[in-house]
Amino acid sequence: MVAILCDPSLGRYRGDVDDVLALLYLIRRGVRISGIAAVEGNADARHAYQVAESVARASGEDIPVYPSPKAVRGEETAVDFLRSAISEGEDVIAMSPLTYLAEALRKVNGPFYSRIFIMGGSIRQRALAAFPEFNFWKDALAARRVLEAPWREVHVIPLDFTATVKWDCGRLVRSLREISMDLNDPLIKLVAGGIVPWCRTSTTFFGGLVPHDVLAVIYYDRADLFKVSERRLTVEVKGLFKKGRLTESEGARPLRLVNGLSAGSENLLDLFLAAIRGGKSVPTRAEGRPLV
Ligand SMILES: [Ca+2]
């Protein structure tokens, strides 16, 4: 089972849709999701929760969604859910600022049996723009606490790597529409329609869609397609343009840092679309065959 922490947006020009595409990938691949903590970050708390609820409903699966503590009072929140998921030893995939994960960790005694997979951080000063990577920059202290926690394994998919991948938005939208019609799948239909505004924004500003969070979940599913190095890194917590950066630290716990693709996996959009179309029938890493 895997617990998801994300800040999904859909149907807006200003909200990146990579979280939603990542959820679509996991659901279509049949990865068992114990719940989605949908919090503010890339989107406000209420929008993030509504989007995650729509995705869960359209999937037809029983996937509970937990809101940010900012969005509700008195209900089970993202923090409560993450705390119980870690207590149960579930894997965690984090694709948003890490404030609520750090808060949950304070309430669980380590060592944890969980593995953590995080899209966040950058080593270079300017991997994509003047600012460091958003998820770590937004709450750098939380990011540092999460990396320092006694996880079974820590995997980081940094901006240095994700910014090297760019997808053709026109092809992505056309292909998802085709697949949704062929399969008559309400979740793919929801995503295919909702990603259009952000696809226009990202084509204008970045020349295509940079699929940050999607790369984190493809890595979770198919680590064999990626190059990884073991590093001892911590998170800078000070300085407007420095905070959130990953820097070497001898005393840090070792983590696995994704830094490229292995041979033959260059066209990740083909691979993504094949997984969305093929669903659970596409061979997994465990079966030792290529995905496309
Ligand atoms: Ca995100």
Binning pLDDT at 50, 70 and 90, where does residue 104 land?
very high
Q: How many angstroms does the Cα of residue 12 sit away from the middle of ligand 1? A: 14
Question: Range with the lowest mean pLDDT among 40-49, 59-68, 69-78?
Answer: 69-78
Give per-residue pLDDT as tens, 193-250: 999 999 999 999 989 999 999 999 999 999 999 999 999 999 999 988 888 999 999 9
Minimum mean pLDDT range among 50-59, 169-178, 237-246: 237-246
* 175 Cα: distance to centroid of ligand 1 (angstroms): 23
Q: Residue 42 Cα, ligand 1 centroid: separation in angstroms?
A: 6
Residue 18 CA to ligand 1 center (angstroms) comes to 6
82-102 pLDDT per residue, tens: 999 999 999 999 999 999 999
Tell me how far the alpha carbon of residue 68 lies from the centroid of ligand 1, in angstroms. Answer: 14
**Predicted TM-score of the model (pTM):** 0.94
Mean pLDDT of 160-179: 95
Looking at residue 220, what is its pLDDT? 97
For the chain, give the percent of residues with pLDDT over 70.
Answer: 93
Query: Ligand 1 center to residue 15 CA distance, Å?
Result: 9
Residue 292 clears pLDDT 50, i.e. is over it: no
Q: Which domains does the chain have, with CATH numbers?
A: 2-287 (3.90.245.10)
Percent of the chain at pLDDT > 90 equals 83
For residue 175, pLDDT over 70 is answered with yes
275 C-alpha to ligand 1 centroid (Å): 20
Give distance in angstroms: CA of 6 to centre of ligand 1.
5
pLDDT reported for residue 130: 60
95 CA to centre of ligand 1 in angstroms: 4
Q: Band of the pLDDT at 132, cuts 50, 70, 90?
A: confident
- What mean pLDDT value characterizes the chain? 92
Separation of CA 135 and ligand 1 centre (Å): 8
DSSP for the chain, please give it: -EEEEE----S-SSS--HHHHHHHHHHHTT--EEEEEE-SSSS-HHHHHHHHHHHHHHHTS---EEE-TTT-SSS--HHHHHHHHHHTT-EEEE-S--HHHHHHHTTS-SS---EEEEE--BSSTTSSSSS--HHHHHTHHHHHHHHHS--SEEEEE-HHHHTT--B-HHHHHHHHHHHHHHHT-HHHHHHHHHTHHHHHHHHHHHSSB--HHHHHHHHHH-GGGEEEEEEEEEE--SSTTTTTBEEE-TTSPEEEEEEEE-TT---HHHHHHHHHHHGGGSPPGGGT----
